[in-house]
A and B are shown apart, each in its own frame.
Chain A
Amino acid sequence: MTPEIALNPELATISRIIVLVALTFYAFSFIVLAWALTKRAGGKGKKDVFANRLDTIGLVLMGIAVLANGVGVLTRGIAANRVPWANMYEFSISGAFVVSAIFLLVLFFRDLKFIAPFVVGFVVLVIGSANTLFYVQVESLVPALQDYWLVIHVSVAILATAFFTIGATLSLIHILKETKRIKNSKSKAGIAFTKLLKVFPKSEKLERTYYQFNIIGFILWSFTLIAGAIWADKAWHRFWGWDTKEVWTFIIWTIYAAYLHATTTKGWDGKRAAWLSLIGFLAIIFNFTIVNLYFKGLHVYSGI
């Protein structure tokens, strides 16, 4: 809050390089994990020793990438002398770190290796676009953002997004598995793809797993919404004002609420609920990209 804060642009440059190192490792990890998956689809499935070895290599590469990513986020924060959550570049690299870290942690409890290439692929896209499209220099926070609610509101939002990301990946696989056009396809590509889809667990198991990710995400998202309202009451003199970002936070909440209702409604559980889970996630991506960049509102981030 005082002008005595010192920004460290040199460290910010180093941080950017570290993030690019992380991106490189993520990219290699993605290639290896995707290779393992296709290997499995063409061969012996779970018993494929070579594919298992590839999986291990891919996950180790991912682990290194996550560490580098974490260091990149940390140094960015030190360079800016604040939490690194003030613009889209910082949200992206932090979000990528949280998704990957949570995914690796979850692997200790659940066998979700099979979606690793999807998660890593997504992270590569996020960091790649952050670096090319959203990069901004380190700046201090404008007065409206100088509040401890920034830490609470944004960290929980990122965490929620991480859970929804994993949930959406699983629902996408569920949808693909249940798509008749793929199942009944006689074309070469269709048959190969069906084989690939058989590598993944049964639909019922997928459904149960992403339900768990989505409910944790939903609880965290509800908290994000309430924390945002408490902060808005302090900073913007009202707790709710249908600001474009508030609108989309609400829309996302409503879609996931619909998803939860669908899971217990006959005729709507299964594939239809999976669609809602996926649409909810697409709304999150839309909220982060299109709404941030093109919709006029109060959630403006310095530059981008």
Chain B
Amino acid sequence: MSSSRQSKYVVRKEYSEPIEAPDLSLKSWARWLWRQLTSMRIALFLLMFLAIASVPGSVFPQRSADPNGVVLYFKNNPDLALWLDNFQLFDVYSSTWFSAIYILLFISLIGCVIPRVGVHYKALRSDPPAAPTNLSRLPSYKKLDATEKNLENAIEYLKSRNFKVISTKTELRAEKGYLRETGNLFFHISLIGVLIAVGLGGGLSYAGQRVLVEGETFVNNEASFDYFAPGLLFDKNNLEPFSLRLESFKTTYDFKNPNNYGLPMDFKATVTTKDSPVSQEAKGSIRVNEPLAVGGSKVYITGNGYAPEIVVRDKDGVVSFSGPVVFLPQDGNLTSLGAIKVPDASPKQFGMLAFFYPTAAELESGALTSNHPFPLNPLMTMNVYVGDLGLDSGMAVNAYKLDTHAMKQVAGGKSGTKAIQLTYGETAQLPNDLGTVEFKDLRRFASIDITYSPLDIWVLIFALTTLFGLVLMLIIPRRRVWVKISKDSVEVGALTKSKDKALDKLVKDVAKSLKKKSK
């Protein structure tokens, strides 16, 4: 972004010329627009707009970061939500208006930086410019006697301070701190690099999620994901054919320090992976801050909970359902809710809505609760519903929910029969001759996130070069010093681009070196 103050420095004329009203020809109108867009003032406005435009995304839930929050918002304020949605306020950071601001900002940046590269390249190769006519108007200035003109000493001094110096008969021109502009350009170009790497990287990446119970295996193909979001440029057929089995998932709790009661101290998933169906198995582990790299992707654990193993037998003892059921955690102490669907039951389909309490305790009201997320006193309660489970309609059904509106409750609630209660290893009779249900075992599940993002490393590299450029441009002062010799005086003047405190001292030092008698 070019500075309007640069007129003191930069050779390019258009920076110093006032911006004039456009004449009516299209070409000059376009030029006027371009000049406006690449001006520092507009860059400044766009930056401020960008800051303001980012705010609503932190006020309203965003579909990208908090999709459940958006659903909830629609439920609680349906009219307002619809209105807000019209303005893309639930997708702020991909909205047209937000995109417009940052795209304009980057066009402005490119339009400003590219010409400056050429100017800077020339400046690096050319001599410091001639002194301005009136040195006394410079921010730092000193007038000396005509006799105090030990130029050689002054040149030596300036060179020792890393100035580029040239001298003519009547003046001395010196400049240093070119790295400041180099850093500035480096910073802005790296910023463009970050944007390209982020944009392109998003296209080439994918992210997916899968809930995996201990003992289950995930194979990396689209069908295996519970949720799969590929970038626009990612070819689904290019999914690396790796597989991953969750051997165990362990949560460590601290039972010694009362302050830590109920707080998880460590999550650790032990897994076995294979890069492809034909490769060797490898053991690995995943922790919260330690993702596992498999087949070019990274695997994270992002959630966990209980998956009780349940066996349902009909009244003749024939097994109609057997396996772990994922229960979704409802609170910090892992009170969990699960839906058990038994479509193959005889005589008719039924389902159960079950609560699982790892450490069951009774509240004063008689309701159950969990006191600790670790299974110290595991208990399950089940409400039983008979009727159509809705699995045959061909419609997608949420596996974690039981749609009971077409079903009849036969246990729990107002059904007249008490809800079924099961502790670990117990079996209970189901009402209405439905058979028995057994709480056979307790397993854990982990939510696994798989992400493939090949350009992340480039985002990081550009981010770090941005930082490097930033340090250069902000720390290094750019200074110009002139010494002008005339018949009746010697003048020293200095100019800087930054808010440079040491400029006066520099002028004093140069003056001192001029005063020095030659040997």
The chain A residues found within 8 Å of chain B, CB to CB, are 1-7, 9, 137-140, 142-144, 146-147, 149, 207-208, 211-212, 215, 218-219, 222-223, 226, 229-231, 233-244, 247-248, 250-251, 254-255, 257-258, 260-268, 283, 291, 295-297, 302
Contacts and interface: CB of A to CB of B under 8 A. Distances in A.
Given A215-B475, A223-B467, A267-B41, 15 more contacts: A5-B254, A7-B259, A139-B260, A212-B499, A212-B501, A219-B474, A222-B466, A234-B291, A237-B298, A238-B207, A239-B459, A242-B64, A261-B44, A265-B40, A265-B41
Given A2-B265, A296-B66, A219 B467 contact: yes
Given A207-B499, A234-B291, A140 B263 contact: yes
Contact of A211 (B258, B466, B499): B499
A264 B263 contact: no
B264 A142 contact: yes
Contacts of A5: 254, 257, 265
Given A7-B260, A139-B260, A237-B298, A219 B289 contact: no
A233 B4 CA distance: 39
B251 to A, nearest CB: 9
Nearest to A210: B499
Interface string B184-215: 00000000000000100000000100000000
Contacts of A248: 58
B499 A263 contact: yes
A237 B263 contact: no
B47 A261 contact: yes
Contacts, number: 164
A235 B302 CA distance: 9
Contacts of B157: none
Contacts of A291: 58
A242 B65 contact: yes
Interface string B494-506: 0001011100000
A149 to B, nearest CB: 8
5 contacts: A9-B259, A239-B460, A255-B51, A260-B474, A264-B40
Contacts of A283: 51
A263 B499 CA distance: 9
B288 A237 contact: no
Contact of B59 (A233, A265, A295): A295
A242 B57 contact: yes
B320 interface: no
B463 interface: yes
Contacts of A222: 466-467, 470
Q: How large is the interface on B (under 10, 10 to 19, 20 to 34, 35 or more residues)?
A: 35 or more
A295 B288 CA distance: 24
Contacts of A250: 54
B391 to A, nearest CB: 32
B322 interface: no
Q: Report the 9 A-B pairs with minimum CB-CB distance, sorted nearest first.
A: A258-B47, A143-B288, A254-B51, A264-B3, A237-B300, A147-B289, A7-B257, A247-B58, A3-B254
B228 interface: no
Contacts of B51: 251, 254-255, 258, 283
B456 A143 contact: no
A295 B48 contact: no
Interface in B286-307: 287-291, 298, 300, 302
B43 interface: yes
A226 B464 CA distance: 8
A235 B301 CA distance: 9
B288 A244 contact: no
A230 to B, nearest CB: 7
B61 A296 contact: yes
A242 B62 contact: yes
Contacts of A263: 499
B75 interface: no
Contacts of B253: 3
Q: Which of B287, B288, B289, B466 has the most CB of A within 10 A?
A: B289
Contacts of A254: 47-48, 50-51, 54
A192 B201 CA distance: 60
Contacts of B64: 241-242
A242 B298 CA distance: 21
Contacts of A251: 51, 54-55
B83 interface: no
B121 interface: no
Contacts of B50: 254
A144 B260 contact: no
